[in-house]
Amino acid sequence: MIWKVKKEDKLLVLVDSEMNKNDVQKLIEEINRITEHCSEITVMNCTEFQASDHEISIDVILLFASQAIPTSKCLKILKHEGVLVLHKSLKREEKDKIRDVFANDILQLGINGFVINDIQHSNSPSISTIKELLGYDSNNDICKIVAKKPFYETGSKMTISLPKLKTNIWKVDDVIEDDLINEDSLLDEEDEMKPIKPTSTVCDIADKKKRKACKDCTCGLSRELNDAVEMKNEPSSCGNCYLGDAFRCGSCPYLGTPAFKPGEKVLLLNNQVTTE
């Protein structure tokens, strides 16, 4: 397993809190051997790292801890395009489904702002000492997930080109305003004309006091007058017939007719009572 570490890089190694000092020292020596003596190596356990307050100064973080490490804090202390290398024990029968086995780790790295750069596994004899120090099964491989810090800062903006969306051929087009019916065109000039109030018939104008049909009457007044039935002036037994129904007896011939003046001639014209 070869880490892409330059001699001038600042290296941070994170291990489990339970790892004893002797094993930590051996791990540093092994890392120095593989990286050809990096200029500055800092080793911290999980508890120390979470309580520390680092500035942006680290080039590479080698994470060997099985305990949960806040990857957001790793992102914060890494320089731009710095690298976080996550190491996991991998069973040999799971080599073909690495992304499924470590799906949660990959997801958490992506959520916290890292870009997954590479995923490798190895069982090289050169790392047998590291597996032994970490307590890994000697028959297992070591999976290396390489995540990179983007060159941009949190909150920075950049334009992205999105592919053009294909139009849905089954979607009904939106109604265009040109296809709407103009409300003003629904009415023509005749509809907008003010209705003319019908004038009185010629027969009514001829004599308003006395209803008389014209010679060539077409309004129906002639038929109405011809069908009129004259009622006889029946003698009143009570003398109150002209006052109205409230004063008439049960056998009064004027029941149902309006009140009239004494001496008036009462005519029944198509169930309409008129007085002359």
Q: Are residues 144 and 207 in the same domain?
A: no
What CATH number is attached to the domain comprising 35? 3.40.50.150
Decide if 245 is inside a domain. yes
Q: Are residues 142 and 236 in the same domain?
A: no
Cα gap 64→31, rounded to integer Å: 12
Decide if 234 is inside a domain. yes
Is 38 annotated to bind a ligand? Reply is no
Is 46 annotated to bind a ligand? Reply is no
108 versus 163: which is more confidently predicted? 108
Decide if 197 is inside a domain. no
72 versus 163: which is more confidently predicted? 72
pLDDT at 213: 76
Q: Are residues 211 and 133 in the same domain?
A: no
pLDDT at 231: 44
Specify which residues 229 forms β-bridges with. Answer: 268
Is 143 annotated to bind a ligand? Reply is no
pLDDT at 234: 56
Decide if 160 is inside a domain. no
pLDDT at 270: 46
Q: Are residues 124 and 212 in the same domain?
A: no
Domain boundary among 133, 148, 163: 148
Q: Are residues 27 and 143 in the same domain?
A: yes
Specify which residues 147 forms β-bridges with. Answer: 84, 116
Q: Is the pTM of this model over 0.85?
A: no
Domain that includes residue 215, residue range: 203-275
Q: What's the distance, CA 176 to chain centroid?
A: 24
162 versus 100: which is more confidently predicted? 100
Task: Provide the domain count of the chain.
Answer: 2
SS (H, E, C) the chain: CCCCCCCCCEEEEEECCCCCHHHHHHHHHHHHHHHCCCCEEEEEEHHHHHHCCCCCCEEEEEECCCCCCCHHHHHHHEEEEEEEEEEEEECHHHHHHHHHHCHHHHHHHHHCCCEEEEEEEECCHHHHHHHHHHCCCCCCEEEEEEEECCCCCCCCCCCCCCCCCCCCCCCCCCCCHHHCCCHHHHCCHHHHCCCCCCCCCHHHHHCCCCCCCCCCCCCCHHHHHHCCEECCCCCCCCCCHHHCHHHCCCCCCCCCCCCCCCCCCEEEECCEEEEC
Cα gap 115→117, rounded to integer Å: 6
pLDDT at 72: 84
Q: Are residues 123 and 21 in the same domain?
A: yes
Give the Cβ contact number of residue 33 at 10 Å: 11
Cα gap 140→65, rounded to integer Å: 17
Q: pLDDT band at 226, cuts 50/70/90? A: confident
Decide if 137 is inside a domain. yes
| Residue 70 tokens, joined | 């806040």
Cα gap 94→101, rounded to integer Å: 7
pLDDT at 117: 86
Domain boundary among 148, 178, 212: 148
Share of the chain above pLDDT 90, in %: 0
Angle, vertex CA 88, rays to CA 71 and CA 142, nearest 5: 140
Decide if 163 is inside a domain. no
Q: By mean pLDDT, which of 14-28, 153-167, 182-196, 198-212 is the weakest?
A: 198-212
Domain boundary among 108, 129, 148: 148
Q: Are residues 54 and 135 in the same domain?
A: yes
Decide if 33 is inside a domain. yes
Q: For 38-54, how does the pLDDT look when each residue is reduced to its tens digit (9 = 90+)?
A: 778 888 888 888 888 87
Q: Are residues 134 and 249 in the same domain?
A: no
User: Is the predicted pLDDT of residue 269 greater than 70, yes or no?
Assistant: no
Q: pLDDT band at 206, cuts 50/70/90? A: very low
Q: For 124-174, how does the pLDDT look when each residue is reduced to its tens digit (9 = 90+)?
A: 666 777 777 777 777 788 888 889 988 876 677 777 777 777 766 676 665
Average pLDDT, the chain: 76
Q: Are residues 131 and 209 in the same domain?
A: no
Decide if 74 is inside a domain. yes
Is 219 annotated to bind a ligand? Reply is yes
